[in-house]
């Protein structure tokens, strides 16, 4: 390793340490620590292939990570643009055991976008959103 690479590594490490220290020093003493990043993960019965269903009822579960996260999640099934049907919406539900579940009754074939929206509580704005696609056949 050259002297220059060694110097640059030390300089970067020092700058990161100083920046982290300054960030802690300027935070107000009464401020809550920044919330952890929430991950919304879709859970289908068979994860070995892209999710696909026939027209009709289909159950979708969304896992909320890290475990123990409290809050509410709303699930929305956004219809294919050429389907001529309305989007399907499950109201906000409390996260229970790191999971929220919803049953959708798909009425049109095509690729539907499933969107999960997380908020810390009903009065807070949406904090995290996740999406996946599901193919609905006839």
Per-residue three-class SS string for 98-109: CEEEEEEEECCC
* 3 located within any domain: no
Lowest-pLDDT choice from 4-8, 14-18, 36-40, 85-89: 14-18
Start-end of H helices in the chain: 3-26
* 18 located within any domain: no
Q: What is the CATH number of the domain that holds 59?
A: 2.60.40.10
Q: Are 50 and 135 in contact (CB under 8 A)?
A: yes
Give pLDDT, residue 32: 39
Answer left, alpha or beta for residue 98, where phi above 0 means left and psi between -120 and 50 means alpha. left
| pLDDT tier, 58 (very low <50, low <70, confident <90, very high otherwise) | confident
Give pLDDT, residue 46: 53
| pLDDT tier, 43 (very low <50, low <70, confident <90, very high otherwise) | confident
* 17 located within any domain: no
* 31 located within any domain: no
Distance CA 126, CA 89 (A): 15
* 46 located within any domain: yes
* 20 located within any domain: no
Residues in the chain: 138
Q: Where are the beta strands (DSSP E) in the chain?
A: 39-43, 52-54, 56-65, 72-78, 88-94, 99-106, 110-119, 128-137
Going by C-alpha positions, the residue among 76, 118, 113 that lies closest to residue 99 is 118
| pLDDT tier, 135 (very low <50, low <70, confident <90, very high otherwise) | confident
Q: What is the mean pLDDT of the chain?
A: 77
* 106 located within any domain: yes
Give pLDDT, residue 44: 66
* 19 located within any domain: no
Indicate the number of domains in the chain.
Answer: 1
What percent of the chain has pLDDT above 90? 47
Structural domain harbouring 112? 39-137
Q: Which residues contact 87 (CB under 8 A, 6 or more apart)?
A: 76, 77, 78, 79
Give pLDDT, residue 138: 75
pLDDT at 119 over 60: yes
What percent of the chain has pLDDT above 70? 65
pLDDT tens-digit map of 63-106: 999 999 999 999 999 999 999 999 999 999 999 999 999 988 88
């Amino acid at each position: 390793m050259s002297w220059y690479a060694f110097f640059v590594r030390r300089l970067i490490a020092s700058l990161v340490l100083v920046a982290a220290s300054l960030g802690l020093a300027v935070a107000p003493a009464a401020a809550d620590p920044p919330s952890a990043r929430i991950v919304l993960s879709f859970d289908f019965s068979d994860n070995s292939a892209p999710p696909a269903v026939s027209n009709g009822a289909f159950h979708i579960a969304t896992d909320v990570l890290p475990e123990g996260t409290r809050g509410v999640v709303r699930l929305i099934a956004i219809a294919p643009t050429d389907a001529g049907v309305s989007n399907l919406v499950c109201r906000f539900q409390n996260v229970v055991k790191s999971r929220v579940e919803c049953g959708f009754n798909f009425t049109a074939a095509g690729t539907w976008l499933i969107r999960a929206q997380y908020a810390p509580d009903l009065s807070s704005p949406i904090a995290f959103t996740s999406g996946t696609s599901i193919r609905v056949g006839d």
